[in-house]
Amino acid sequence: MENFTYYNPTRLHFGKGVVSKLGKSAKQYGSKALLVYGRGSIRRNGIYDQVVDQLSEHGIRFVDFEGVKPNPLASDVDIAAQKARDFGAEMIIAVGGGSVIDSGKGIAITAPSQHQVWDFFSGKAKPKKALPLLAVLTLAATGTEMNPLAVLQDHDTGKKIGYGHPSMFPAHSFLDPANTFSVSRSYTSFGVVDLVAHSLEAWFGVGDASLSDRIVTSIIKEAMEYGPDLLDDPNSYELRAKIMYAATLALNGLTNNGRVSGDWGVHALGHEMSLLFDIPHGASLSIAYPAWLKLHQQKLKHRISMLGKALFDTDDDSQTIKELESFFTKMEAPIRLDDIGINNPDQRQALLQSMNKNKAQGYHHKLSDKDREKILAYMSLA
Amino acid sequence: MENFTYYNPTRLHFGKGVVSKLGKSAKQYGSKALLVYGRGSIRRNGIYDQVVDQLSEHGIRFVDFEGVKPNPLASDVDIAAQKARDFGAEMIIAVGGGSVIDSGKGIAITAPSQHQVWDFFSGKAKPKKALPLLAVLTLAATGTEMNPLAVLQDHDTGKKIGYGHPSMFPAHSFLDPANTFSVSRSYTSFGVVDLVAHSLEAWFGVGDASLSDRIVTSIIKEAMEYGPDLLDDPNSYELRAKIMYAATLALNGLTNNGRVSGDWGVHALGHEMSLLFDIPHGASLSIAYPAWLKLHQQKLKHRISMLGKALFDTDDDSQTIKELESFFTKMEAPIRLDDIGINNPDQRQALLQSMNKNKAQGYHHKLSDKDREKILAYMSLA
């Protein structure tokens, strides 16, 4: 087992009606908030009103920052941070999915600084302080609600970068599974894919950590047992709850304890796909994972077999990759570029160029340009 | 799934040599500490010197409180708290196993108050503040290193009480598996029993929480796979590490997420045995658990079968209880009163009286006097 430090101070409020605790929790940080959200779906499904009622009830004034995009932009974070400064916001309240909460994290470190958020994400500066962040989660997927990580995209430099800093843990996160009832069928799917992919990134990291391995496969089993059921019964509170909690545990640091780190190569590949074609994060992962596994099949034979044993009762590595593809397909997620309409050679060449230019790869299982070409070929299979 | 709040701010430093981070971590809280430990084994095995070197190096003065007992006494906590007050200690550093760290928690809330620790534990008063607690763990067992719980014994009232308060989380815990090499064979065993018993208390709690169930069985599997190996190879760093981490996760709150709570009936029974006969906590649990399961075998048939399915590949509830007994026996832990020399009728009658007088039972599966009589009979079987 590798040495590790585990620290996760987020207070997770999970269950029916937990947004009713938002006002009291927020009040301890002051009386002025920046309220961050996406393109208005929370106005339609009533979550905006729940939040605003809480703030009014506890005498917290706020200004809105609306319009965070699904692949959130650094430039929006900078605009929002300026808005927070101008208003004198004492806290950030982010209401939405991963993109909104990630943006909230960026705003939380940028607002009290002289920097643009990209200075932090690109490593030019380190956050010295942060506004407290309260997150109301409306999509089960990224795990951002209980970790210090965020992914932002910078159109100027053409990069999508993940960044983490301890000051970026949400102080409180409010997870009401009922707030995910209105998530579309496809985003429900992609969320399940995302949580499985996070678990796999840990699994294919480096370091012998048997209990963390068991937790990884526990989380994946949960997704595999209840994910397809959820597509059949999207208004089941219990199923929404199971998937929501699994997504949180998949990336709150726990699966990584005792390892050097996860690999994150597949996410790097997926980010390039999202950047180039604006496809949902989850969809990029269900395409990239099987391809990445096929590339590394010999090198990672032992780990793939162990995974197959735990999940599919097979120790055949090829069979395990097939089973994983079947699961993604059952979840109605794409497993080939064709499935998302990336079917002409120019598009595929552009993707390869972009992956190579940004040297998309993981921390451990390094990818050469030739490897990426093979991965593209696997992603392009019929 | 039941609503829950999960909050665990302890910073866990795990691995080889992590005590080298103690001084720097402590320094942020001030320059005066009360150093709490047991009956001097840490002086013999070198851990005391590691700690003192850290404190000296970072200019932290300290006074010692030595002599915490294996079943720690409230009266000792009060004496130590007075010592902390007299010295003006700004933090508590507890170096030892569960008894020492639990005492450290009691001292941390008592020192800055006008109360005796029993006022808190008996519910007469609530902690308003606490000194920061830094824990150096030397025994894998109770999980106290990453939770806000403590168990103390009051000889005046004849009670052993568990108590928890958010101010009692250690701020930092330092877990170097190498610091458990010198733990005796029997205490190594009892630690494994304890972590399994904690997991079972969660399992037999109330609330449908499938992912928490998977985590519970993951932890127990870890103990069952590596516990016996550790008895064969007590100087294996890897095995010590696996058991140490499993013990931490078994009671850091995670296994309880989505449940109303665990049951804790077996611990209540065990505490009576420890109080009366001064036997180690773990030994009391390996005797009490099979008896408790036999009493509830019909009522909990479904849960026992589910557990058997996950752990022993059987859904026969009787077989599951037998397998659990076999595991405890393999760990050289007692499973009957006879095994610890409690073999005369007067002793057994005294135990029954004590259990009945203190109404030893769990939060959910209530025990009548008649139930306890049956439990005693099961514990007395040949």
Question: How many C-beta neighbours within 10 Å does residue A127 have?
Answer: 20
- Same-domain status, B208 and B307: yes
Residue B377 reports pLDDT greater than 80: yes
Residue B104 reports pLDDT greater than 80: yes
- Same-domain status, B90 and B142: yes
- Same-domain status, A122 and A48: yes
B1 and A222 in contact by Cβ < 8 A?
Answer: no
- Same-domain status, B143 and B210: no
Count of A-B CB contacts under 8 Å: 101
Q: What is the mean pLDDT of chain B?
A: 96
Chain B residues closer than 8 Å to A258 by CB: 14, 241, 245
CATH value at residue B48:
3.40.50.1970
Interface ipTM = 0.96
How many whole angstroms separate alpha carbon A224 and alpha carbon A61? Answer: 43
Q: What is the DSSP string of A312-339?
A: HS---HHHHHHHHHHHHHHTT---SGGG
Tell me if B164 is assigned to some domain: yes
Contacts of A341 (CB under 8 A, 6+ apart): none
Q: Using CB atoms within 10 Å of the CB of residue A271, give its burial: 0 to 12 exposed, 13 to 18 middle, 19+ buried.
A: buried
pLDDT digits (tens, 9 = 90+) for B133-153: 999 999 999 999 999 999 998
**Domains in chain A, number:** 2
Please give the helix or strand (H or E) that residue B335 lies within, else none: none
Confidence of residue B212 (pLDDT cuts 50, 70, 90): very high
- Same-domain status, A67 and A204: no
List the end-to-end C-alpha distance of chain A, in Å, as a whole number. Answer: 41
Residue A96's DSSP bridge partners are: A137
Radius of gyration of chain B (CA): 20
Tell me if A328 is assigned to some domain: yes
Q: What is the mean pLDDT of chain A?
A: 96
Q: What is the DSSP string of A89-124?
A: -SEEEEEESHHHHHHHHHHHHHTTSSS-HHHHHTTS
- Predicted confidence at residue B161, as pLDDT, reads 85
Residue B154 reports pLDDT greater than 90: no
Tell me if B6 is assigned to some domain: no
Contacts of B298 (CB under 8 A, 6+ apart): none
Tell me if B29 is assigned to some domain: yes
- Same-domain status, A357 and A241: yes
Nearest CA in chain B to A7: B11
User: Which domain covers residue B348, as residue numbers?
Assistant: 185-380
Q: Using CB atoms within 10 Å of the CB of residue B49, give its burial: 0 to 12 exposed, 13 to 18 middle, 19+ buried.
A: exposed
- Same-domain status, B254 and B335: yes
Residue B274 reports pLDDT greater than 90: no
Ranked by mean pLDDT, the top range of A326-335, B70-79, B272-281 is: A326-335
Tokens coding A348:
């595929």
- Predicted confidence at residue A292, as pLDDT, reads 98
Which domain-ending residue is among A127, A159, A180? A180
- Same-domain status, A313 and A219: yes
- Same-domain status, A139 and A263: no
Closest C-alpha among A120, A216, A205 to residue A167: A120
Chain A residues closer than 8 Å to B1 by CB: 14-15, 177, 238, 241-242, 245
- Same-domain status, A174 and A205: no
- Same-domain status, B109 and B141: yes
Tell me if A4 is assigned to some domain: no
CATH value at residue B298:
1.20.1090.10
Which domain-ending residue is among B113, B147, B180? B180
C-alpha torsion sign, points A164, A168, A172, A174:
negative
Chain A residues closer than 8 Å to B249 by CB: 211
By the 8 A CB rule, do B335 and B325 touch?
yes
pLDDT digits (tens, 9 = 90+) for A147-188: 999 999 887 777 778 899 999 999 999 999 999 999 999 999
A219 and B211 in contact by Cβ < 8 A?
Answer: yes
Q: Which residues of B touch A (CB under 8 A)?
A: 1-18, 177, 208, 210-211, 214-215, 218-219, 221-222, 225-226, 238, 241-242, 245-246, 249, 254, 257-258
Confidence of residue B382 (pLDDT cuts 50, 70, 90): confident
Residue % of chain B over a pLDDT of 90: 93
Tell me if B343 is assigned to some domain: yes
- Same-domain status, A146 and A69: yes
How many whole angstroms separate alpha carbon B343 and alpha carbon A102? Answer: 63
Which domain-ending residue is among B128, B158, B180? B180
Q: Give the mean pLDDT of A258-264.
A: 97
Tell me if A3 is assigned to some domain: no
Tell me if B3 is assigned to some domain: no
What's the whole-model pTM score? 0.97
Chain B residues closer than 8 Å to A211 by CB: 218-219, 222, 242, 245-246, 249
